Amino acid sequence: MLCVVEQLGIVDYAAGLALQHERVAQRKAGAIPDTLLLLQHPRVFTFGRNAHRQHLLVSPEFLKSRGAQLFETDRGGDVTYHGPGQIVGYPILDLTQHSRDIAWFMRSLEEVFIRVAADYGFEAGRVAGATGVWIGNEKLVAMGVHISRWVTSHGFAFNVNTDLRYFEWIVPCGLRDRGVTSLKKLLGRPVDLTEASKRVIEHFGSVFGMEMEPPRAAVSSTAVHV
């Protein structure tokens, strides 16, 4: 089974959301194969469907004054942060071609990053009742998805070189007793994003049993780089 990879660089959140909608419609119509969008967003905070507004610890006006955006989305989960140095992935998969099982999909996404973390020498794992990938008490990868007619959207946020100070303005994923980490923090040095993306792509293909088409830069007219 084929999965096309689109590596898009830095894309505004609204433009990335529009591109997801476009790719989901195309996948539902059978016009494209499964697709993995990999990108970064400028500083933005997003609320999931189950978000509690009190988990944003500052005002929207404060965020705007600091150059950050705020969006409400249809993904699962609470509030989270996206920014430069973070690999964001949006898998557009037709689960009827894999397994009509959302739990299987989420556990498979987690497995991808458990393997990626192992490549960098870290033992990552899962926490019962808290979706994502953890190293100790700190989250390395946040996840929140949307499923429509068994086609997936939204996905994961992998902290590679992310500036973790921005997480101080929220209760990440609504979990007050846990922290957030990054590969940069764990290793004590910046990590090459191209290399990290390569490892994500390789393990994604292995876990989901797909042939990953060589990465290509292909931004829809609805998705504009910033």
Cβ atoms 117, 160 nearer than 8 A: no
Which residue type sits at 207? V
Active site residue 3: no
Determine the 3-state secondary structure of 26 from DSSP: helix
Which residue type sits at 147? I
Helix intervals (H) in the chain = 13-28, 60-65, 102-119, 183-187, 193-208
- DSSP line for 123-173: --EEETTEEEEEETTEEEEEEEEEEETTEEEEEEEEESS--GGGGGGB-GG
**Which residue in this structure is represented by tokens 């923090």?**
185
Cβ atoms 41, 14 nearer than 8 A: no
Q: Which of 173, 201, 210, 223 is catalytic?
A: 173
Cβ atoms 159, 140 nearer than 8 A: yes
Active centre residues (catalytic)? 173
